Amino acid sequence: MDKKKILFLCTGNSCRSQMAEGWARHLKGDQIEPYSAGIETHGLNPLAVKVMAEAGVDISGHRSKHLNELKDQMFDYVITVCDAANESCPFFPGKTVRIHKGFDDPPRLAKSAATEAEALGHYMRVRDEIRAFVEGMPENLSDQGAV
């Protein structure tokens, strides 16, 4: 079976797309060749690294990448994981299927948190939602609405 090449695209490639890439490598590395990038680069979010480590997935070696760094790659799927990336997603040539699966933005939600524990709760919830989505891959991709 050929691995599906999947790009997880987000605004800054700092949190949600990094979590998705980490989960895909951890849970589906035998079926998926995952990548992540952003339409901008915001650096790797330390709280995303922390909650992924708590779940047994080390993304500390990842770095925030701009979409242009992957311009020569051909992907089977491009999955936008935030609304801004979905609205700004460029055209991908060939057989690439583009899917939008939006997740809440943990850093934005955490801004109003009174404590670090409350802030981490937002990251953990989104982490777990992304895990549930990735666990169903690649089979669930045909169930998603292609953009």
Structure tokens at 144: 């998603």
The total of other beta-carbon atoms located within 10 Å of residue 38's CB is 26
| From 48, 82, 134, 141, the catalytic residue | 82
Assess whether 89 carries a catalytic annotation: yes
Residue 33 bridge partners (DSSP): 5
Contact present, 48 and 81 (Cβ < 8 Å): no
Assess whether 10 carries a catalytic annotation: yes
Assess whether 82 carries a catalytic annotation: yes
Structure tokens at 47: 């709280």
| From 70, 89, 109, 113, the catalytic residue | 89
Residues annotated as part of the active site: 10, 82, 89
